Amino acid sequence: MALIRVTSCKVEDNLHHDVILNTAHIVVITHDTHKPNRGCWVQLVTGEPVLVCLSFDDMWTLIQRET
* C-alpha dihedral sign at 12, 16, 18, 20: positive
Q: Regarding predicted confidence, which is higher, 66 or 29?
A: 29
**56 — pLDDT class (breaks 50, 70, 90):** very high
- Residue 42: pLDDT band (50, 70, 90) is very high
- Determine whether 65 is exposed, middle or buried from the number of CB atoms within 10 Å of its CB (0-12, 13-18, 19+): exposed
Query: What is the per-residue DSSP string for the chain?
Result: --EEEEEEEPTTT--EEEEEEEGGGEEEEEE-SSSTTT-EEEEETTS-EEEESS-HHHHHHHHHHH-
- pTM of the model as a whole: 0.83
